[in-house]
């Protein structure tokens, strides 16, 4: 699942290729929009909203896409070979004189009127990387249901937009509580919300979702993807378990020493399952 900082970078790449120039070719390979004639239109801007991407076109149209689990937007210079996956996984192609943006495995490809964008993204909470980021409103939404487990509340894009499973786990660690801790029991929820913003902002121009400040491979996270390995702070083995109800469940990671609060019957997994989502 992409985090908001990945989507932010995808938007920047798309902007470099598309924004401010005319589409020389466009092909939406989804039944609802297969006949849409977009070539010749100018691309006004590419805006990330949480984990959604809004590509705004001349004539009051917006192409709304979402990456969900493994969708990707790749951009290629003219003549460069497309390498994002087999052709049947391509859902959208947008070409300009600068290059081509190819959307692979996009589960959401929706053409709508720009005036109707709210229908697609209006449910989102304050955008952690948005110019209109509102920490007070984000905190209000996060605490609206005090019994809700922390990671689940952080992943709910209606509370604050942009957090995926890496940050949900790492923020729980940084707050010193397990991902199952009810949000109402957080000692300093405002600090956690501020930290969420800091982390995404620090990572918006680099890959890796670094939460430790250490960009070296294997050192980027406190607990995420580190099941069965020692906690960097105390040396206790990091535990893992599923959290949530299928198919919405995720893998949670935590240090039983550094993080207080409820947790299911845990298992310390070997490297075989490390990194699974
Ligand atoms: Zn620890």
User: What is the per-residue pLDDT across 252-265, written as a single tens digit (0 to 9) for each?
Assistant: 999 999 999 999 97
CA of 234 to the centre of ligand 1 (A): 4
**Could you confirm whether 182 is annotated as catalytic?**
no
CA of 260 to the centre of ligand 1 (A): 10
Q: Which one is catalytic: 2, 48, 126, 189?
A: 2
Q: What is the pLDDT of residues 40-97, one digit of tens each?
A: 999 999 999 999 999 999 999 999 999 988 899 999 999 999 999 999 999 999 999 9
Structure tokens belonging to residue 52: 């959604």
pLDDT at 164 over 90: yes
Q: Which one is catalytic: 13, 29, 98, 250?
A: 250
Determine the pLDDT at residue 275.
42
Angle at 70 between CA 166 and CA 41, to 5 degrees: 120
**Could you confirm whether 107 is annotated as catalytic?**
no
Across 173-177, 190-194, 218-222, 242-246, least confident range: 242-246
Dist. CA 193–CA 54, nearest whole Å: 25
Determine the pLDDT at residue 246.
86
CA of 1 to the centre of ligand 1 (A): 25
Q: What is the pLDDT of residues 82-137, one digit of tens each?
A: 999 999 999 999 999 999 999 999 999 999 999 999 999 999 999 999 998 999 99
At residue 276 the predicted structure's pLDDT band, cuts being 50, 70 and 90, is very low
pLDDT at 1 over 70: no
**Could you confirm whether 271 is annotated as catalytic?**
no
**Could you confirm whether 250 is annotated as catalytic?**
yes
Q: What is the pLDDT of residues 171-183, one digit of tens each?
A: 999 999 999 999 9
CA of 230 to the centre of ligand 1 (A): 8
| Residue 213 β-bridge partners | none
pLDDT at 17 over 60: yes
Among 233, 235, 210, 237, residue whose Cα is nearest residue 221:
210
Q: Which one is catalytic: 3, 74, 152, 170?
A: 3
Q: What is the pLDDT of residues 18-47, one digit of tens each?
A: 999 999 999 999 999 999 999 999 999 999
Dist. CA 263–CA 259, nearest whole Å: 10
Determine the pLDDT at residue 274.
41
This prediction has a pTM of 0.89
Determine the pLDDT at residue 277.
44
DSSP letters, the chain, are ---HHHHHHHHHHHHHHHTTSB-SEEEE-SGGGTT---TTPBEEEEEEETTEEEEEETTTEEEEEE-TTT-EEEEE-TTPPP-SS-GGGEEEEEEETTEEEEEES-SEEEEEEGGGHHHHHTT---BTTSTT--HHHHHHHHTSSTTSBHHHHHH-TTTSBT--HHHHHHHHHHHTB-TTSBGGG-S-HHHHHHHHHHHHHHHTTSSS--SSS--STT-S-SSTT-TTSB-TTT-PBPEEEEESSTTS-EEEEE-TTT-BS---S-B---GGGTT--
As a whole number, mean pLDDT of residues 217-242 equals: 96
Determine the pLDDT at residue 70.
87
CA of 137 to the centre of ligand 1 (A): 31
Determine the pLDDT at residue 245.
86
Q: Which one is catalytic: 9, 51, 91, 229?
A: 51
| Residue 75 β-bridge partners | 101
């Amino acid at each position: 699942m992409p985090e908001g900082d990945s989507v932010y970078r995808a938007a920047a790449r798309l902007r470099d290729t598309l924004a401010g120039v005319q589409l020389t070719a466009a092909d939406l390979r989804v039944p609802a929009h297969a006949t849409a004639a977009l070539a010749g239109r100018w691309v006004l801007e590419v805006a990330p909203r949480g984990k959604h991407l809004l590509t705004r076109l001349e004539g009051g149209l917006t192409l709304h896409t979402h990456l969900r689990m493994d969708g990707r937007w790749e951009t290629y210079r003219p003549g460069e070979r497309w390498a994002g996956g087999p052709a049947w996984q391509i859902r959208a192609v947008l070409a300009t004189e600068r290059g081509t943006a190819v959307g692979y495995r996009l589960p959401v490809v929706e053409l709508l009127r720009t005036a109707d964008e709210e229908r697609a993204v209006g449910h989102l909470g304050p955008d952690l990387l948005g110019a209109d980021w509102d920490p007070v409103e984000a905190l209000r939404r996060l605490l609206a249901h005090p019994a809700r487990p922390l990671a689940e509340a952080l992943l709910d894009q209606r509370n604050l937009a942009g957090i995926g499973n890496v940050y949900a786990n790492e923020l729980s660690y940084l707050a010193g509580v397990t991902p199952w801790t009810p949000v109402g029991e957080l000692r300093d929820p405002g600090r956690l919300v501020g930290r969420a913003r800091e982390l995404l902002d620090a990572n918006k121009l680099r890959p890796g979702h670094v939460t430790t400040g250490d960009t070296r491979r294997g050192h980027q996270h406190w607990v995420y993807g580190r099941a069965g390995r020692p906690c960097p702070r105390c040396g206790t083995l990091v535990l893992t378990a599923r959290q949530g109800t299928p198919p919405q469940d995720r893998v949670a990671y935590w240090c039983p020493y550094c993080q207080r609060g409820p947790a299911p019957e845990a298992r310390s997994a070997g490297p075989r399952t490390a990194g699974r989502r």
